[in-house]
Amino acid sequence: MSVPTTLRCLVRPSVPRHVPRQVAVVWAAPFSTTASLAANPPKKKASAQMASIRSGKKMQLGKFKKKAPGGRTGKSPLPGERKAVRKRIQLSNSNALPVPGLAELTSEYMADKVNAGTVVSLPGTVQDELRVIEAFKPTQYWGMFRNPSMLVRSETVDLIGRMQDSAEKKQTLKLVVSGDRLTGKSMLLLQGMAHGLLNEWIVINIPEAQELTTASTEYAPIPGTDPVQYMQNNYALKLVQAVRKANEKTLTRLTTAYSHPELPQNIPINSTLMQLANSAKEADSAWYVFHALWQELMAKGQGRPPILLTLDGLQHIMKVSDYRSAAYNPIHSHDLALVRLFTDCLAGNHQFPGGGAVLAATSRGNAPRVPSMELALSQRAAEQAGAEIPKHDPFFRDYDTRVEASLKKVQVLKVSGVSKLEARAVMEYWAASGVLRKTVDEATVTEKWTLGGHGVLGEMERASLLTMRP
């Protein structure tokens, strides 16, 4: 009975049974003595795999990966090249559409009340002169349009009117333009300068007050001054050259009234002011040339034209500068001769013989806080408005008497958002230039006017021009 069963054991089963295959695992320890492992010794491949796993993982200490070499080729920009690109001012764009029927700025245009709320384009000559005296700022959106044009707003008409008044009366207008961020304070100065250039005023512009006081340009004590004043020759050279280029026509017409023995070059009396300005060839004597030029412009009874003196970023010259004296004491900004000249004019210590204006604009983007200046300006504004005059904070001791003295007689022009009418004019200009691709109607104007914080022009530009959406 048992034979068939035992025989059956020897017979190979007809249907193979599914037995889980015994996999020869080679990950185990190599010292195993089992036969299977002895028959299949651990293969090289396995160890290689282990090695590759380990070699693939590296501890990374830094947060950022090093880039593979050879990723970026090409020359890195030279020193100063990046800044030049950043500060580049592009005044026209051939991709923008020319705006038909745009008036060109004339000498009387901005003084006329009728022209408030219109857009005018700057004539080519004025563009060049304004560019020389650095009236255009890299943050303004000139490069989006075919021709540099600007909105004549009610504040412009007001300012130009005051300038004309003072020129007619041979008086000096002392005015500070203040207002919120991006409201167009620098633009108002530019309009003043354009008006001055068109009316043959002598225009002197200090485009960035911080260049004078942040210890970024050379300085030296002026011998024979007490208390010591400091001249900034490099800056003076730049300034004289800018004044010379921008006011060439007027300076050629005027002649000198004094001899200037301190200058390296002999400038005889009755030579043109252009010759005097031309004598500033190198930085060493530049301050003296500028000083001589200023004296000539201040000469009484010589038929001098009105003068426009402008400065942007008033806060920077109303504080202690970053310069140090020989005794390593901080130098007050008003001890810098060029700044002193400006603040004296602002304080009304200089009477321009042909009248003129001293305009300063505060800055909100990059400016230190100057409590004295803020207080003085709010006091002047309150005086003009007939409101209650703010007083000193009795618990604050860092008020600066020199600052307050320099701002005793100024007028304050507050700039805020434009009206909807002006907003509409400027938006129609954008639409005609092809930058704003929308129908300019009441709804659109109000939308942008609201988004721009009640017509703050810079914010309106941000809200309508710098968006990629249609």
Partner 1 sequence: MASSRPCFTVLRGICQRRGTQWQQPLGQQLQALRITSNSLANSTSRRCFATDQPTRESLSIEAAGEVNLAALKQFGSKSRARPVPASPSYFSRIPVFNDSYLALEKLIRTYGNLPTIPTSQVERVAWKTLRDYRQTIGEQVKAGDYGRCIGLVKRLHQIHPKLKPGPVKEALEAFKRDIQPFTNVATPIVVDKFGRAVGVGRRKSSTARAWVVEGNGEIQINGKSLADFFGRVHDRESAVWALHATGRLDKYNVWALADGGGTTGQAEALTLAIAKGLMAHEPALKPALRRAGCVTRDPRRVERKKHGRVKARKMPAWVKR
Least distance in angstroms from the C-beta of 421 to partner 1:
13
Applying the rule CB under 8 A, the residues between 52 and 111 that interact with partner 1 are: 57
Q: Which two tokens stand for residue 404?
A: 């307050």
- Among the residue ranges 42-50, 121-129, 396-404, 441-449, the one whose residues contact partner 1 (CB under 8 A): 441-449
Contacts of residue 23, defined as CB under 8 A and 6 or more positions apart, other chains included, come to none
Element (H, E) at 220: strand 220-221
Whole-angstrom distance, CA of residue 80 vs CA of residue 84? 6
Please say which residue, 339 or 456, places its beta carbon nearer to partner 1: 456
Please say which residue, 166 or 363, places its beta carbon nearer to partner 1: 363
Instruction: Count the site residues for partner 1 by CB under 8 A.
Output: 19
Q: Position 346: which residue type?
A: L
Of the candidate residues 137, 170, 414, 462, the single one contacting partner 1 (CB under 8 A): 462
- Among the residue ranges 1-9, 289-297, 302-310, 452-460, the one whose residues contact partner 1 (CB under 8 A): 452-460
Residue 371 CA to its chain's centroid (Å): 23
Least distance in angstroms from the C-beta of 462 to partner 1:
6
Q: Beta strand 330-332 with 320-324: parallel, antiparallel or unpaired? A: antiparallel
Among 377, 413, 459, which Cα is nearest to 155's? 413
* Residue 414 sits in the site that holds partner 1 (CB under 8 A): no
* Residue 449 sits in the site that holds partner 1 (CB under 8 A): yes
- Among the residue ranges 37-45, 65-73, 274-282, 443-451, the one whose residues contact partner 1 (CB under 8 A): 443-451
Please say which residue, 306 or 417, places its beta carbon nearer to partner 1: 417
* Residue 456 sits in the site that holds partner 1 (CB under 8 A): yes
Burial bucket for residue 234 (CB in 10 Å: 0-12, 13-18, 19+): middle
Which residue's entry shows tokens 């901080």?
330
Least distance in angstroms from the C-beta of 139 to partner 1:
16
Whole-angstrom distance, CA of residue 357 vs CA of residue 168? 11
- Among the residue ranges 114-122, 213-221, 304-312, 456-464, the one whose residues contact partner 1 (CB under 8 A): 456-464
Of the candidate residues 168, 454, 468, 470, the single one contacting partner 1 (CB under 8 A): 454
* Residue 428 sits in the site that holds partner 1 (CB under 8 A): no
Burial bucket for residue 447 (CB in 10 Å: 0-12, 13-18, 19+): middle
- The contact pattern for partner 1, residues 165-184, with x = CB under 8 A and - = no contact, is ---------------x----
Among 135, 197, 202, 198, which Cα is nearest to 172's? 202
Whole-angstrom distance, CA of residue 215 vs CA of residue 157? 37
* Residue 434 sits in the site that holds partner 1 (CB under 8 A): no
Which residue's entry shows tokens 């970023």?
313
Q: CA 251, 253, 259, 261 torsion: positive or negative?
A: positive
Least distance in angstroms from the C-beta of 446 to partner 1:
4
Contacts with partner 1 by CB under 8 A lie at 57, 180, 417, 442-443, 446-447, 449-454, 456, 459, 462-463, 466-467
